[in-house]
Amino acid sequence: MIALLRRDLALTLRSGGGFGLALAFFLILVVLIPFGVGPQSELLSRIAPGVLWVGALLACLLSLDRIFQLDFEDGSLDLLATSPLPLESLALLKALTHWLTTGLPLTVAAPFLGVFLSLPGEAVVWLVSSLALGTPALSLIGAFGAALTVGLKRGGLLISLLVLPLYVPTLIFGAECVRRGAEGLAASTPLLFVAGITAGCVAALPFATASALRVNLR
Amino acid sequence: MSFWEYANPKKFMETSSWLLPWVAIGSLLCLVVGLIWGFFFTPDDFRQGSTVKIIYLHVPSALMAINAWLMMLVCSLIWIVRRHHVSALAARAAAPIGVTMTLIALATGALWGQPMWGTYWAWDPRLTSFLILFLFYLGYIALWEAIENSDTAADLTSVLCLVGSVFALLSRYAVNFWNQGLHQGASLSLDKEENVADVFYFPLLVCIAGFVLLFVALVLIRTRTEIRARRISALRARQRLNDTSPSATPKEA
Amino acid sequence: MPDLGKYADAVLGSYAVSIALIVAIVALSLWRSKRVKAELERVETETSGQANTR
Protein backbone atom coordinates (compact mmCIF):
# COMPACT_ATOMS: atom_id res chain seq x y z
CA MET A 1 0.00 0.00 0.00
CA ILE A 2 2.78 2.39 0.92
CA ALA A 3 4.58 1.48 -2.26
CA LEU A 4 1.48 2.21 -4.31
CA LEU A 5 1.03 5.54 -2.55
CA ARG A 6 4.63 6.47 -3.32
CA ARG A 7 4.26 5.40 -6.91
CA ASP A 8 1.10 7.49 -7.35
CA LEU A 9 2.65 10.49 -5.68
CA ALA A 10 5.75 10.23 -7.84
CA LEU A 11 3.67 9.90 -10.99
CA THR A 12 1.48 12.88 -10.14
CA LEU A 13 4.39 15.08 -9.18
CA ARG A 14 6.45 14.13 -12.22
CA SER A 15 3.64 14.73 -14.67
CA GLY A 16 3.39 18.22 -13.19
CA GLY A 17 -0.38 18.12 -13.42
CA GLY A 18 -2.01 18.29 -10.03
CA PHE A 19 0.34 20.09 -7.69
CA GLY A 20 1.23 23.26 -9.53
CA LEU A 21 -1.91 23.52 -11.58
CA ALA A 22 -4.34 23.54 -8.67
CA LEU A 23 -2.27 26.07 -6.77
CA ALA A 24 -1.86 28.31 -9.80
CA PHE A 25 -5.59 28.17 -10.45
CA PHE A 26 -6.32 29.06 -6.84
CA LEU A 27 -3.88 31.98 -7.00
CA ILE A 28 -5.31 33.32 -10.25
CA LEU A 29 -8.88 33.06 -9.00
CA VAL A 30 -8.11 34.91 -5.79
CA VAL A 31 -6.19 37.59 -7.66
CA LEU A 32 -8.97 38.03 -10.21
CA ILE A 33 -11.75 38.49 -7.64
CA PRO A 34 -10.67 42.00 -6.54
CA PHE A 35 -10.54 43.07 -10.19
CA GLY A 36 -14.08 41.87 -10.55
CA VAL A 37 -15.67 43.28 -7.40
CA GLY A 38 -13.47 46.31 -6.72
CA PRO A 39 -10.66 47.00 -4.26
CA GLN A 40 -12.68 48.08 -1.16
CA SER A 41 -11.14 46.08 1.63
CA GLU A 42 -14.27 45.88 3.80
CA LEU A 43 -16.18 44.29 0.91
CA LEU A 44 -13.31 41.93 0.17
CA SER A 45 -12.95 40.84 3.76
CA ARG A 46 -16.67 40.07 3.85
CA ILE A 47 -16.56 37.81 0.79
CA ALA A 48 -13.10 36.38 1.49
CA PRO A 49 -14.27 33.22 3.32
CA GLY A 50 -16.61 32.26 0.50
CA VAL A 51 -14.14 33.12 -2.25
CA LEU A 52 -11.35 31.13 -0.62
CA TRP A 53 -13.57 28.09 -0.13
CA VAL A 54 -15.06 28.22 -3.62
CA GLY A 55 -11.57 28.73 -5.04
CA ALA A 56 -10.20 25.70 -3.20
CA LEU A 57 -13.20 23.65 -4.33
CA LEU A 58 -12.79 24.60 -7.99
CA ALA A 59 -9.04 24.00 -7.82
CA CYS A 60 -9.80 20.52 -6.47
CA LEU A 61 -12.17 19.93 -9.35
CA LEU A 62 -9.47 20.60 -11.95
CA SER A 63 -7.48 17.44 -11.42
CA LEU A 64 -10.32 15.04 -10.58
CA ASP A 65 -10.54 13.34 -13.95
CA ARG A 66 -6.89 12.32 -13.65
CA ILE A 67 -7.42 10.26 -10.49
CA PHE A 68 -8.21 7.05 -12.35
CA GLN A 69 -8.00 8.03 -16.01
CA LEU A 70 -4.28 7.47 -16.64
CA ASP A 71 -4.22 4.14 -14.81
CA PHE A 72 -7.34 3.10 -16.69
CA GLU A 73 -5.86 3.95 -20.06
CA ASP A 74 -2.56 2.13 -19.66
CA GLY A 75 -4.24 -0.88 -18.08
CA SER A 76 -2.61 -0.68 -14.67
CA LEU A 77 -6.02 -0.20 -13.09
CA ASP A 78 -6.98 -3.71 -14.22
CA LEU A 79 -3.80 -5.04 -12.66
CA LEU A 80 -4.46 -3.19 -9.44
CA ALA A 81 -8.01 -4.54 -9.37
CA THR A 82 -6.77 -8.13 -9.60
CA SER A 83 -4.06 -7.60 -7.00
CA PRO A 84 -4.68 -8.77 -3.42
CA LEU A 85 -5.31 -5.17 -2.39
CA PRO A 86 -9.07 -4.64 -2.07
CA LEU A 87 -10.52 -2.12 -4.49
CA GLU A 88 -11.92 -0.17 -1.56
CA SER A 89 -8.44 0.54 -0.20
CA LEU A 90 -7.31 1.45 -3.68
CA ALA A 91 -10.13 3.99 -3.85
CA LEU A 92 -9.14 5.40 -0.47
CA LEU A 93 -5.50 5.50 -1.52
CA LYS A 94 -6.24 7.31 -4.74
CA ALA A 95 -8.29 9.89 -2.87
CA LEU A 96 -5.44 10.29 -0.39
CA THR A 97 -2.98 10.88 -3.23
CA HIS A 98 -5.30 13.45 -4.73
CA TRP A 99 -5.63 15.16 -1.37
CA LEU A 100 -1.88 15.21 -0.77
CA THR A 101 -1.28 16.81 -4.16
CA THR A 102 -4.17 19.30 -4.14
CA GLY A 103 -6.01 19.61 -0.83
CA LEU A 104 -2.93 19.89 1.34
CA PRO A 105 -1.09 22.51 -0.76
CA LEU A 106 -4.32 24.50 -1.05
CA THR A 107 -4.74 24.45 2.71
CA VAL A 108 -1.19 25.66 3.19
CA ALA A 109 -1.52 28.37 0.56
CA ALA A 110 -4.94 29.63 1.66
CA PRO A 111 -3.80 31.88 4.57
CA PHE A 112 -1.32 33.68 2.31
CA LEU A 113 -3.95 34.21 -0.35
CA GLY A 114 -6.30 35.37 2.41
CA VAL A 115 -4.02 38.38 2.82
CA PHE A 116 -4.91 39.52 -0.71
CA LEU A 117 -8.58 39.48 0.25
CA SER A 118 -7.93 41.21 3.61
CA LEU A 119 -9.25 38.23 5.50
CA PRO A 120 -9.41 39.15 9.21
CA GLY A 121 -6.56 37.67 11.22
CA GLU A 122 -8.78 35.78 13.65
CA ALA A 123 -10.37 33.88 10.75
CA VAL A 124 -7.09 32.39 9.55
CA VAL A 125 -7.03 29.59 12.06
CA TRP A 126 -10.63 28.66 11.14
CA LEU A 127 -9.78 28.86 7.44
CA VAL A 128 -6.85 26.49 7.79
CA SER A 129 -8.65 24.05 10.06
CA SER A 130 -11.84 23.97 7.98
CA LEU A 131 -9.87 23.45 4.76
CA ALA A 132 -7.69 20.81 6.38
CA LEU A 133 -10.76 18.95 7.59
CA GLY A 134 -12.94 19.63 4.53
CA THR A 135 -10.68 19.05 1.53
CA PRO A 136 -10.33 15.30 2.22
CA ALA A 137 -14.08 15.04 1.73
CA LEU A 138 -13.72 16.93 -1.57
CA SER A 139 -11.06 14.45 -2.72
CA LEU A 140 -13.13 11.44 -1.67
CA ILE A 141 -16.28 12.71 -3.39
CA GLY A 142 -14.14 13.58 -6.41
CA ALA A 143 -12.71 10.08 -6.52
CA PHE A 144 -16.27 8.75 -6.55
CA GLY A 145 -17.15 11.03 -9.47
CA ALA A 146 -13.96 10.00 -11.27
CA ALA A 147 -14.78 6.33 -10.77
CA LEU A 148 -18.24 6.86 -12.28
CA THR A 149 -16.85 8.49 -15.41
CA VAL A 150 -13.59 6.59 -15.81
CA GLY A 151 -14.67 4.68 -18.90
CA LEU A 152 -15.86 7.76 -20.75
CA LYS A 153 -13.88 9.66 -23.32
CA ARG A 154 -15.04 13.12 -22.35
CA GLY A 155 -15.59 12.62 -18.67
CA GLY A 156 -14.14 15.93 -17.52
CA LEU A 157 -17.24 18.05 -17.89
CA LEU A 158 -19.51 15.30 -16.66
CA ILE A 159 -17.47 14.95 -13.46
CA SER A 160 -18.10 18.60 -12.64
CA LEU A 161 -21.83 18.17 -13.16
CA LEU A 162 -21.94 15.05 -11.00
CA VAL A 163 -19.63 16.21 -8.26
CA LEU A 164 -20.64 19.84 -7.75
CA PRO A 165 -24.05 19.10 -6.17
CA LEU A 166 -22.31 16.63 -3.87
CA TYR A 167 -19.91 19.37 -2.79
CA VAL A 168 -22.69 21.64 -1.55
CA PRO A 169 -22.85 20.53 2.11
CA THR A 170 -19.08 20.62 2.57
CA LEU A 171 -18.88 24.05 0.99
CA ILE A 172 -21.73 25.43 3.08
CA PHE A 173 -20.31 24.27 6.38
CA GLY A 174 -16.71 25.11 5.48
CA ALA A 175 -17.41 28.64 4.31
CA GLU A 176 -19.82 29.18 7.18
CA CYS A 177 -17.12 28.20 9.65
CA VAL A 178 -14.66 30.74 8.23
CA ARG A 179 -17.35 33.43 8.01
CA ARG A 180 -18.25 32.98 11.65
CA GLY A 181 -14.59 32.99 12.55
CA ALA A 182 -14.12 36.26 10.66
CA GLU A 183 -17.06 37.83 12.47
CA GLY A 184 -15.77 36.67 15.82
CA LEU A 185 -18.67 34.26 16.42
CA ALA A 186 -18.42 30.72 17.70
CA ALA A 187 -17.27 28.75 14.69
CA SER A 188 -16.75 25.30 16.10
CA THR A 189 -20.24 23.94 15.21
CA PRO A 190 -19.82 24.19 11.41
CA LEU A 191 -16.25 22.95 11.83
CA LEU A 192 -17.58 19.86 13.55
CA PHE A 193 -20.07 19.41 10.72
CA VAL A 194 -17.23 19.58 8.18
CA ALA A 195 -15.29 17.02 10.18
CA GLY A 196 -18.40 14.85 10.37
CA ILE A 197 -18.91 14.97 6.60
CA THR A 198 -15.28 14.03 6.03
CA ALA A 199 -15.50 11.17 8.52
CA GLY A 200 -18.68 9.91 6.86
CA CYS A 201 -17.08 10.16 3.41
CA VAL A 202 -13.98 8.23 4.57
CA ALA A 203 -16.18 5.53 6.00
CA ALA A 204 -18.72 5.11 3.21
CA LEU A 205 -17.58 6.54 -0.10
CA PRO A 206 -14.67 4.14 -0.84
CA PHE A 207 -17.28 1.38 -1.09
CA ALA A 208 -19.33 3.35 -3.61
CA THR A 209 -16.16 4.27 -5.51
CA ALA A 210 -14.99 0.66 -5.58
CA SER A 211 -18.36 -0.62 -6.79
CA ALA A 212 -18.36 1.98 -9.57
CA LEU A 213 -14.83 0.94 -10.53
CA ARG A 214 -15.86 -2.71 -10.59
CA VAL A 215 -18.71 -1.90 -12.96
CA ASN A 216 -16.40 0.08 -15.22
CA LEU A 217 -13.73 -2.63 -15.30
CA ARG A 218 -16.24 -5.38 -16.07
CA MET B 1 -49.35 -13.48 -7.87
CA SER B 2 -46.42 -11.41 -6.80
CA PHE B 3 -45.29 -7.87 -7.42
CA TRP B 4 -42.04 -9.21 -8.85
CA GLU B 5 -43.88 -10.69 -11.84
CA TYR B 6 -43.77 -7.21 -13.33
CA ALA B 7 -40.01 -7.50 -13.48
CA ASN B 8 -40.63 -9.61 -16.57
CA PRO B 9 -40.68 -7.08 -19.45
CA LYS B 10 -43.34 -9.04 -21.31
CA LYS B 11 -45.66 -9.12 -18.31
CA PHE B 12 -44.96 -5.45 -17.69
CA MET B 13 -45.81 -4.55 -21.28
CA GLU B 14 -49.06 -6.50 -21.16
CA THR B 15 -50.24 -5.04 -17.89
CA SER B 16 -49.13 -1.51 -18.64
CA SER B 17 -50.82 -1.51 -22.01
CA TRP B 18 -54.28 -1.90 -20.48
CA LEU B 19 -53.43 0.17 -17.41
CA LEU B 20 -52.05 3.11 -19.34
CA PRO B 21 -55.28 4.45 -20.92
CA TRP B 22 -57.08 4.44 -17.57
CA VAL B 23 -54.27 6.26 -15.81
CA ALA B 24 -53.94 8.75 -18.64
CA ILE B 25 -57.67 9.47 -18.73
CA GLY B 26 -57.81 9.73 -14.95
CA SER B 27 -54.90 12.12 -14.92
CA LEU B 28 -56.39 14.29 -17.64
CA LEU B 29 -59.75 14.32 -15.86
CA CYS B 30 -58.27 15.24 -12.47
CA LEU B 31 -56.01 17.90 -13.95
CA VAL B 32 -58.77 19.54 -15.99
CA VAL B 33 -61.30 19.43 -13.15
CA GLY B 34 -58.82 20.47 -10.50
CA LEU B 35 -57.23 23.30 -12.43
CA ILE B 36 -60.53 24.70 -13.74
CA TRP B 37 -62.06 24.42 -10.29
CA GLY B 38 -59.03 26.10 -8.80
CA PHE B 39 -58.69 28.76 -11.44
CA PHE B 40 -62.31 29.81 -11.96
CA PHE B 41 -64.25 28.79 -8.88
CA THR B 42 -62.13 29.51 -5.85
CA PRO B 43 -62.10 32.87 -4.04
CA ASP B 44 -59.06 35.06 -3.71
CA ASP B 45 -57.09 34.89 -0.51
CA PHE B 46 -57.53 38.04 1.60
CA ARG B 47 -53.79 38.47 1.94
CA GLN B 48 -52.39 36.98 -1.22
CA GLY B 49 -55.10 38.05 -3.64
CA SER B 50 -55.42 35.98 -6.78
CA THR B 51 -51.87 34.62 -6.54
CA VAL B 52 -53.20 31.90 -4.28
CA LYS B 53 -54.38 30.17 -7.45
CA ILE B 54 -50.75 29.29 -8.19
CA ILE B 55 -50.90 26.81 -5.32
CA TYR B 56 -52.75 24.32 -7.57
CA LEU B 57 -49.64 24.02 -9.72
CA HIS B 58 -46.89 24.77 -7.27
CA VAL B 59 -47.64 22.31 -4.48
CA PRO B 60 -48.42 19.23 -6.63
CA SER B 61 -45.39 19.75 -8.87
CA ALA B 62 -43.07 20.25 -5.89
CA LEU B 63 -44.51 17.12 -4.32
CA MET B 64 -43.95 15.11 -7.47
CA ALA B 65 -40.43 16.49 -7.95
CA ILE B 66 -39.45 14.90 -4.66
CA ASN B 67 -41.54 11.76 -5.15
CA ALA B 68 -39.97 11.17 -8.56
CA TRP B 69 -36.55 11.15 -6.94
CA LEU B 70 -37.83 8.77 -4.24
CA MET B 71 -39.19 6.47 -6.92
CA MET B 72 -35.84 6.56 -8.72
CA LEU B 73 -34.14 5.70 -5.42
CA VAL B 74 -36.41 2.71 -4.84
CA CYS B 75 -35.96 1.54 -8.44
CA SER B 76 -32.19 1.89 -8.15
CA LEU B 77 -32.20 -0.21 -4.98
CA ILE B 78 -34.32 -2.87 -6.69
CA TRP B 79 -31.93 -2.87 -9.63
CA ILE B 80 -28.87 -3.21 -7.39
CA VAL B 81 -30.37 -5.93 -5.23
CA ARG B 82 -32.49 -7.95 -7.65
CA ARG B 83 -31.24 -6.79 -11.06
CA HIS B 84 -34.61 -6.39 -12.74
CA HIS B 85 -34.13 -4.49 -15.96
CA VAL B 86 -37.59 -2.95 -15.90
CA SER B 87 -36.72 -1.31 -12.61
CA ALA B 88 -33.57 0.34 -13.97
CA LEU B 89 -35.43 1.49 -17.07
CA ALA B 90 -38.26 2.91 -14.96
CA ALA B 91 -35.73 4.94 -12.97
CA ARG B 92 -34.32 6.25 -16.23
CA ALA B 93 -37.81 7.03 -17.48
CA ALA B 94 -38.72 8.95 -14.34
CA ALA B 95 -35.77 11.35 -14.35
CA PRO B 96 -36.88 13.73 -17.14
CA ILE B 97 -40.35 13.89 -15.59
CA GLY B 98 -38.75 14.80 -12.29
CA VAL B 99 -36.80 17.57 -14.01
CA THR B 100 -40.00 18.94 -15.52
CA MET B 101 -41.74 18.89 -12.15
CA THR B 102 -38.80 20.63 -10.50
CA LEU B 103 -38.84 23.25 -13.23
CA ILE B 104 -42.57 23.84 -12.80
CA ALA B 105 -42.16 24.15 -9.05
CA LEU B 106 -39.25 26.58 -9.45
CA ALA B 107 -40.96 28.66 -12.15
CA THR B 108 -44.31 28.94 -10.40
CA GLY B 109 -42.50 29.63 -7.16
CA ALA B 110 -40.54 32.45 -8.76
CA LEU B 111 -43.66 33.97 -10.33
CA TRP B 112 -45.44 33.67 -7.00
CA GLY B 113 -42.51 35.09 -5.11
CA GLN B 114 -42.30 38.23 -7.21
CA PRO B 115 -45.61 39.81 -6.04
CA MET B 116 -45.53 38.26 -2.55
CA TRP B 117 -41.92 38.65 -1.49
CA GLY B 118 -40.86 41.30 -3.99
CA THR B 119 -38.29 39.02 -5.58
CA TYR B 120 -38.21 36.14 -8.02
CA TRP B 121 -35.52 34.33 -6.16
CA ALA B 122 -34.32 34.25 -2.60
CA TRP B 123 -31.76 31.90 -1.11
CA ASP B 124 -34.37 30.47 1.15
CA PRO B 125 -33.73 26.90 2.34
CA ARG B 126 -36.65 25.40 0.43
CA LEU B 127 -35.83 27.19 -2.79
CA THR B 128 -32.17 26.36 -2.54
CA SER B 129 -32.78 22.68 -1.90
CA PHE B 130 -34.96 22.55 -4.99
CA LEU B 131 -32.21 24.10 -7.06
CA ILE B 132 -29.80 21.48 -5.74
CA LEU B 133 -32.34 18.76 -6.52
CA PHE B 134 -32.51 20.13 -10.06
CA LEU B 135 -28.71 19.83 -10.36
CA PHE B 136 -28.87 16.25 -9.10
CA TYR B 137 -31.42 15.40 -11.78
CA LEU B 138 -29.23 16.95 -14.46
CA GLY B 139 -26.18 14.99 -13.36
CA TYR B 140 -28.18 11.75 -13.20
CA ILE B 141 -29.60 12.19 -16.71
CA ALA B 142 -26.23 13.25 -18.10
CA LEU B 143 -24.63 10.08 -16.73
CA TRP B 144 -27.37 7.93 -18.31
CA GLU B 145 -26.86 9.63 -21.64
CA ALA B 146 -23.06 9.46 -21.55
CA ILE B 147 -22.66 5.71 -21.08
CA GLU B 148 -23.32 3.48 -24.06
CA ASN B 149 -23.62 0.06 -22.44
CA SER B 150 -27.01 0.17 -20.78
CA ASP B 151 -26.24 -2.29 -17.98
CA THR B 152 -23.15 -0.32 -17.03
CA ALA B 153 -25.19 2.86 -17.17
CA ALA B 154 -27.89 1.33 -14.96
CA ASP B 155 -25.31 0.22 -12.39
CA LEU B 156 -23.48 3.53 -12.27
CA THR B 157 -26.60 5.69 -12.18
CA SER B 158 -28.01 3.53 -9.39
CA VAL B 159 -24.89 4.07 -7.31
CA LEU B 160 -25.04 7.77 -8.12
CA CYS B 161 -28.69 7.87 -7.10
CA LEU B 162 -27.95 6.28 -3.73
CA VAL B 163 -24.98 8.49 -2.96
CA GLY B 164 -26.81 11.51 -4.34
CA SER B 165 -29.81 10.85 -2.09
CA VAL B 166 -27.62 10.87 1.00
CA PHE B 167 -26.00 14.12 -0.09
CA ALA B 168 -29.33 15.66 -1.09
CA LEU B 169 -30.62 15.00 2.39
CA LEU B 170 -27.43 16.40 3.85
CA SER B 171 -27.74 19.49 1.66
CA ARG B 172 -31.29 20.00 2.87
CA TYR B 173 -30.08 20.30 6.45
CA ALA B 174 -26.90 22.16 5.51
CA VAL B 175 -28.95 24.75 3.65
CA ASN B 176 -31.23 25.22 6.64
CA PHE B 177 -28.22 25.80 8.83
CA TRP B 178 -26.63 28.15 6.33
CA ASN B 179 -29.57 30.43 5.84
CA GLN B 180 -30.44 30.73 9.49
CA GLY B 181 -26.81 31.59 9.98
CA LEU B 182 -27.18 34.42 7.47
CA HIS B 183 -30.42 36.15 8.43
CA GLN B 184 -31.60 35.31 11.88
CA GLY B 185 -35.16 34.08 11.72
CA ALA B 186 -36.05 36.08 8.62
CA SER B 187 -37.56 33.08 6.87
CA LEU B 188 -39.50 33.80 3.73
CA SER B 189 -41.19 30.49 3.33
CA LEU B 190 -44.73 30.47 4.60
CA ASP B 191 -45.96 27.16 5.82
CA LYS B 192 -48.52 26.40 3.19
CA GLU B 193 -50.07 23.25 4.57
CA GLU B 194 -51.25 24.83 7.77
CA ASN B 195 -53.23 27.80 6.64
CA VAL B 196 -54.97 26.32 3.65
CA ALA B 197 -58.73 26.61 4.08
CA ASP B 198 -61.14 24.02 2.75
CA VAL B 199 -62.10 26.11 -0.29
CA PHE B 200 -58.53 25.80 -1.50
CA TYR B 201 -57.89 22.38 -0.06
CA PHE B 202 -60.28 20.24 -2.12
CA PRO B 203 -59.31 21.49 -5.57
CA LEU B 204 -55.72 21.18 -4.42
CA LEU B 205 -56.30 17.52 -3.58
CA VAL B 206 -57.79 16.93 -7.03
CA CYS B 207 -54.77 18.60 -8.62
CA ILE B 208 -52.35 16.51 -6.55
CA ALA B 209 -54.18 13.37 -7.68
CA GLY B 210 -53.94 14.64 -11.26
CA PHE B 211 -50.19 15.20 -10.99
CA VAL B 212 -49.64 11.79 -9.39
CA LEU B 213 -51.60 10.07 -12.17
CA LEU B 214 -49.83 12.16 -14.78
CA PHE B 215 -46.51 11.04 -13.36
CA VAL B 216 -47.57 7.39 -13.37
CA ALA B 217 -48.86 7.64 -16.93
CA LEU B 218 -45.68 9.29 -18.15
CA VAL B 219 -43.48 6.77 -16.36
CA LEU B 220 -45.46 3.94 -17.97
CA ILE B 221 -45.18 5.47 -21.43
CA ARG B 222 -41.50 6.20 -21.07
CA THR B 223 -40.66 2.83 -19.53
CA ARG B 224 -42.45 1.10 -22.39
CA THR B 225 -40.38 3.17 -24.79
CA GLU B 226 -37.18 2.23 -22.99
CA ILE B 227 -38.10 -1.46 -23.07
CA ARG B 228 -38.78 -1.24 -26.80
CA ALA B 229 -35.51 0.62 -27.36
CA ARG B 230 -33.72 -2.10 -25.44
CA ARG B 231 -35.35 -4.75 -27.63
CA ILE B 232 -34.31 -2.87 -30.77
CA SER B 233 -30.68 -2.83 -29.73
CA ALA B 234 -30.86 -6.51 -28.75
CA LEU B 235 -32.30 -7.41 -32.16
CA ARG B 236 -29.71 -5.27 -33.90
CA ALA B 237 -26.91 -6.94 -31.97
CA ARG B 238 -28.25 -10.38 -32.87
CA GLN B 239 -28.56 -9.36 -36.51
CA ARG B 240 -24.97 -8.16 -36.55
CA LEU B 241 -23.87 -11.41 -34.98
CA ASN B 242 -25.71 -13.41 -37.63
CA ASP B 243 -24.31 -11.25 -40.42
CA THR B 244 -20.69 -11.52 -39.38
CA SER B 245 -20.68 -15.20 -38.42
CA PRO B 246 -23.43 -17.13 -40.19
CA SER B 247 -22.05 -20.36 -38.78
CA ALA B 248 -22.62 -19.26 -35.19
CA THR B 249 -25.44 -21.05 -33.50
CA PRO B 250 -28.47 -18.80 -33.05
CA LYS B 251 -28.79 -19.93 -29.46
CA GLU B 252 -25.85 -17.76 -28.56
CA ALA B 253 -27.65 -14.62 -29.56
CA MET C 1 -62.63 34.63 -16.67
CA PRO C 2 -62.20 35.53 -13.02
CA ASP C 3 -60.92 38.92 -12.01
CA LEU C 4 -57.29 38.38 -11.15
CA GLY C 5 -56.62 41.93 -10.04
CA LYS C 6 -53.11 43.27 -10.09
CA TYR C 7 -51.56 39.82 -9.90
CA ALA C 8 -52.92 38.67 -13.27
CA ASP C 9 -49.44 38.48 -14.80
CA ALA C 10 -48.09 36.19 -12.11
CA VAL C 11 -51.08 33.87 -12.08
CA LEU C 12 -51.50 33.62 -15.85
CA GLY C 13 -47.74 33.38 -16.28
CA SER C 14 -47.42 30.43 -13.93
CA TYR C 15 -50.37 28.63 -15.52
CA ALA C 16 -48.90 29.23 -18.96
CA VAL C 17 -45.42 28.09 -18.00
CA SER C 18 -46.65 25.00 -16.16
CA ILE C 19 -49.06 23.91 -18.86
CA ALA C 20 -46.41 24.49 -21.51
CA LEU C 21 -43.90 22.37 -19.59
CA ILE C 22 -46.43 19.59 -18.99
CA VAL C 23 -47.45 19.57 -22.63
CA ALA C 24 -43.80 19.55 -23.64
CA ILE C 25 -42.89 16.50 -21.54
CA VAL C 26 -46.05 14.65 -22.61
CA ALA C 27 -45.44 15.46 -26.28
CA LEU C 28 -41.80 14.47 -26.01
CA SER C 29 -42.67 11.16 -24.35
CA LEU C 30 -45.38 10.35 -26.89
CA TRP C 31 -43.23 11.35 -29.84
CA ARG C 32 -40.33 9.22 -28.71
CA SER C 33 -42.67 6.33 -27.91
CA LYS C 34 -44.12 6.50 -31.40
CA ARG C 35 -40.71 6.67 -33.05
CA VAL C 36 -39.27 3.78 -31.08
CA LYS C 37 -42.39 1.70 -31.68
CA ALA C 38 -42.11 2.21 -35.44
CA GLU C 39 -38.41 1.45 -35.30
CA LEU C 40 -39.04 -1.76 -33.37
CA GLU C 41 -41.61 -2.90 -35.90
CA ARG C 42 -39.19 -2.21 -38.72
CA VAL C 43 -36.34 -4.07 -37.04
CA GLU C 44 -38.63 -6.96 -36.14
CA THR C 45 -39.80 -7.44 -39.70
CA GLU C 46 -36.20 -7.18 -40.91
CA THR C 47 -34.98 -9.83 -38.53
CA SER C 48 -38.00 -12.09 -38.76
CA GLY C 49 -36.68 -13.50 -42.02
CA GLN C 50 -33.76 -14.96 -40.15
CA ALA C 51 -33.87 -18.00 -37.99
CA ASN C 52 -34.80 -18.02 -34.33
CA THR C 53 -36.93 -15.01 -33.59
CA ARG C 54 -38.00 -15.13 -30.01
Specify whether the backbone of A11 is left (phi greater than 0), alpha (psi in -120 to 50) or beta: alpha
Q: Span A13-35, mean pLDDT?
A: 79
Task: Decide if pLDDT at B253 tops 70.
Answer: no
Which residues of B fall within a CB distance of 8 Å from A193?
Answer: 174, 177
Interface contacts A/B by beta carbons within 8 Å = 81
- C-beta of residue B225 within 8 angstroms of C-beta of residue B92: no
Q: For position A43, what pLDDT does the model report?
A: 86
Q: Which domain holds residue A145?
A: 2-217
Q: A93-102, B134-143, B234-243: which has the minimum mean pLDDT?
A: B234-243
Q: For position A185, what pLDDT does the model report?
A: 81
Q: For position B50, what pLDDT does the model report?
A: 77
Q: A72-86, B126-140, B200-214: which has the minimum mean pLDDT?
A: A72-86
Cβ neighbours of residue A37 under 8 Å, at least 6 residues apart? Answer: A43, A44, A47
**Where in B171-241 does DSSP place strands (E)?**
none
Which residues of C fall within a CB distance of 8 Å from B114?
Answer: 10
DSSP run (H or E) holding A190: helix A188-217
Burial class (CB in 10 A: 0-12, 13-18, 19+), B210: buried
Residues B75-86 as b or e (16 or more Cβ within 10 Å = b): bbbbbbeeebbb
CB contact under 8 A, A172 and B142: no
- C-beta of residue A207 within 8 angstroms of C-beta of residue A88: yes
Question: Which chain C residue has its CA at the smallest distance from B251's CA?
Answer: C52
- Give the pLDDT confidence of C13-47 residue by residue, as tens digits: 888 889 999 999 999 999 999 999 898 888 888 77
Smallest CA–CA distance, residue C35 to chain B, in Å, is: 9
Q: For position B69, what pLDDT does the model report?
A: 93
Most confident of A1-10, A48-57, B2-11, B47-56: A48-57
Asked if residue C2 is part of any domain, the answer here is no
- Give the pLDDT confidence of A140-155 residue by residue, as tens digits: 999 999 998 887 877 7
Q: Which domain holds residue C37?
A: 9-43
Q: Span B146-167, mean pLDDT?
A: 88
- C-beta of residue B100 within 8 angstroms of C-beta of residue B64: no
Asked if residue C33 is part of any domain, the answer here is yes
Asked if residue C49 is part of any domain, the answer here is no
Q: For position B192, what pLDDT does the model report?
A: 46
Instruction: State how many domains chain C has.
Output: 1
Q: For position B196, what pLDDT does the model report?
A: 58
Q: How far apart are CA A55 and CA A105, in angstroms?
A: 13
Mean pLDDT of chain B: 82
CB contact under 8 A, B171 and A215: no
Instruction: State how many domains chain A has.
Output: 1
Rg of chain B taking only CA atoms, in angstroms: 22
- Give the pLDDT confidence of A150-177 residue by residue, as tens digits: 878 777 788 888 999 999 889 988 988 8
Which residues of A fall within a CB distance of 8 Å from B163?
Answer: 144, 166, 205, 208
Q: How far apart are CA A159 and CA A150, in angstroms?
A: 10
CB contact under 8 A, B139 and A148: no
Q: For position B73, what pLDDT does the model report?
A: 93
Q: For position A190, what pLDDT does the model report?
A: 87
Which residue among B96, B111, B225 sits closest to C14, beta carbon to beta carbon? B111
Phi then psi dihedrals of residue A40, to 5 deg:
-65, 125
Q: Span B24-49, mean pLDDT?
A: 84
Q: For position B59, what pLDDT does the model report?
A: 86
Q: What is the percentage of chain A residues whose pLDDT exceeds 90? A: 20
Q: Span A34-60, mean pLDDT?
A: 87
Q: Span A37-57, mean pLDDT?
A: 87
Q: For position B185, what pLDDT does the model report?
A: 37
Q: For position B221, what pLDDT does the model report?
A: 92
The pLDDT-based confidence of B181 (bands split at 50, 70, 90) is: very low
Q: Span A30-49, mean pLDDT?
A: 86
Q: How far apart are CA B223 and CA B89, in angstroms?
A: 6
**ipTM score of the complex?**
0.84
Q: For position C49, what pLDDT does the model report?
A: 59
Q: Which residue has the higher pLDDT, B186 or B89?
A: B89
Provide, for chain B, the percentages of residues in helix, strand and coil under a 3-state DSSP scheme, each rounded to the nearest 5. Answer: 80, 0, 15
Q: How far apart are CA A138 and CA A98, in angstroms?
A: 10
Task: Decide if pLDDT at A136 tops 90.
Answer: yes
Task: Decide if pLDDT at B252 tops 70.
Answer: no
- Give the pLDDT confidence of B188-245 residue by residue, as tens digits: 344 444 455 667 778 888 888 999 999 999 999 999 999 998 888 888 888 888 777 6
- Which 3 state secondary structure label does DSSP give A65? coil
